[in-house]
Amino acid sequence: MSIPTTADETTTLRAFLDHFRDTLRRQCAGVGADGLAWTLPPATMTLGGMLKHLTFVEQWWFSIVLHGDEPSGIWVDVDWEADEDWDWHSAVDDSPDQLRTWLDEAIATSDRLVDEALARGEGLDVLAARERRGGPVSLRWILVHMVEEYARHCGHADLIRESIDGATDL
């Protein structure tokens, strides 16, 4: 996918987000359960944990924060107080296909929710239903944050994937 260089702000932000979503998918493609559970010590981060974490992040920002919905699916009964990194830690118990499916479904839902927010007619200035740290947050901020979130984790994924099988041109 090519990121347009002369598009409007909304198209540009969404294209960058899609680019990094696709990058993460490529970095995890063809990696089985052992590889998705692989760590690069001393870090405990895994590709599987990253897939599950970003599944949660998609729901958090676009469903829970932007639209004010309650957690749904696998996130309903999570005891975040018992393990604030449950998404990262529990991924080892999930199959590679399930982790990929959850992320794909979360991304599709997020895209639909962004479309719904944009349909309000306020563009990127539309404010989320929930505040962040006591203040309003715009759809623009959420999209920029999501680009940053994915870009940072794609850097992590590069290192982990290379340590698994030497793959570097993903």
Give the tens place of pLDDT for each residue, 73-95: 999 999 999 999 999 999 999 99
Give the tens place of pLDDT for each residue, 11-38: 999 999 999 999 999 999 999 999 999 9
Mean pLDDT across the stretch 104-109?
98
Give the tens place of pLDDT for each residue, 112-156: 999 999 999 999 999 999 999 899 999 999 999 999 999 999 999
- Distance from C-alpha of 66 to C-alpha of 18, rounded to nearest angstrom: 18
- Distance from C-alpha of 112 to C-alpha of 116, rounded to nearest angstrom: 6
Give the pLDDT confidence score for residue 122 in this predicted structure: 95
Q: Is residue 69 part of a domain?
A: yes
CATH number at residue 24: 1.20.120.450
Q: Is residue 81 part of a domain?
A: no
Residue 64, pLDDT > 90, answer yes
Q: Is residue 139 part of a domain?
A: yes
Q: Is residue 155 part of a domain?
A: yes
pLDDT class of 72 with cuts at 50, 70, 90: very high
Q: Which domain holds residue 29?
A: 11-76+86-165
Residue 168, pLDDT > 90, answer no
Q: Is residue 38 part of a domain?
A: yes
Give the tens place of pLDDT for each residue, 36-46: 999 999 999 99
Mean pLDDT across the stretch 43-57?
97
Give the pLDDT confidence score for residue 1 in this predicted structure: 63
Report the number of distinct structural domains present in the chain. 1
Give the pLDDT confidence score for residue 123 in this predicted structure: 96
Q: Is residue 6 part of a domain?
A: no
Q: Round the average pLDDT of the chain to a whole number and report it.
A: 96
